[in-house]
Chains A and B, each alone.
Chain A
Amino acid sequence: MAVTPSQFDLLSKLVDVTVLRHKVLSHNVANVNTPGYHKLDVSFDEALAQHIDRHGDHGVSQLQPTIMEDTVTPGRLDGNNVDIDREMMRLNKNTLLNNAYLQIVATKTAMMRRSISGQ
């Protein structure tokens, strides 16, 4: 029996993905005035959903997120297609998700700590 609580692999992967997505979104925000820049995005959720359908949460740590360049969305006159409001909202959402995942990990760790010390 594994010592660490279940879903730790899944949670750490999800945290990794939110950190990666944060980098990508801040990169978009930093390039909001760069002519010809196409916004980037991280795709992971679909791959994760497929993996969980087939294999459950076993081996999720091998799953890799992918950075996608969005060349389809029409841009401004200078060819840049970053929508700053959208990026900021996604940044907020991503931070919230990251907080939620980390809070779950923290709670599980606290439970473990309590059961070890027998309180």
Chain B
Amino acid sequence: MGFDTSLAAFNISASGLTAERLRMEVVANNIANASVTRTPEGGPYRRKDVVFETALNPDGPAQHGATESSGLAGVRTVAIVDDMSELPRRHDPGHPDADADGFVTMPNVNLPVEMVNLITATRAYEANLKAAQSFVDMNQQALTIVRG
């Protein structure tokens, strides 16, 4: 039993922390770009979303029916994808990016949606942190046996 397997629970919680932190960064990026009409790809900013998947260690038994857990590796971010939903158009003839009819195509960032995502990401981050903390407590208790 090596360093990585005996303390695998830390890696699992750390993967959750990394994933939720990334989600918070993406949400912050969406909010920061809520009125950006020019991007390097051209056109207004499209809101980004992260895609998570369950991470499993290929050389360990993993799921249903297994008697060990070395296959469990937490969560992994697969991709950051663009939200392809329709971009809202706003009437603003004075805007430099307005079309001939005076309409500006705005980013499809919806502030309430972003705030809800931010809160769920924060809560999930805290939960992962708590799980890591519990594991520290368990190991501290195990050390008391050696301490005598």
Contact = CB atoms under 8 A, between A and B. Distances in A.
Interface of A: 15, 18-20, 22-27, 29-35, 37, 40, 64-69, 84, 87-88, 91-92, 94-95, 98-99, 102-103, 105-106, 109-110, 113
| Among all A-B residue pairs, the 6 with the closest Cβ atoms | A30-B16, A30-B74, A69-B64, A64-B67, A26-B131, A95-B134
Contact of A19 (B15, B127, B138): B138
A24 B127 CA distance: 14
A68 B65 contact: yes
Contact of A84 (B15, B127, B138): B127
Contacts of A34: 52-54, 75
Given A33-B52, A34-B75, A67 B69 contact: yes
A66 B13 CA distance: 21
Contacts of A22: 9, 131, 134-135, 138
A87 B15 CA distance: 17
Interface of B: 8-9, 12-13, 15-16, 19-20, 23, 52-54, 63-69, 72-75, 120-121, 123-124, 127-128, 130-132, 134-135, 137-138, 141-142, 144-145, 148
Contacts of B148: 106, 109-110, 113
A44 B144 CA distance: 26
A98 B138 contact: yes
A67 B9 CA distance: 15
Contacts of A84: 123-124, 127
A16 to B, nearest CB: 10
B67 A65 contact: yes
Give the secondary structure class of B's interface: helix
Given A30-B16, A33-B23, A33-B120, A66 B134 contact: no
Contacts of A105: 145
Given A19-B9, A102-B145, A106-B144, A33 B20 contact: yes
A95 B63 contact: no
A105 B64 CA distance: 31
Nearest to B18: A30
Given A33-B120, A64-B67, A91-B134, A102 B75 contact: no
Given A26-B131, A102-B145, 4 more contacts: A27-B73, A33-B124, A64-B67, A99-B138
Best-surrounded residue of A22, A27, A67, A102 (most CB of chain B within 10 A): A27
Nearest to B17: A30
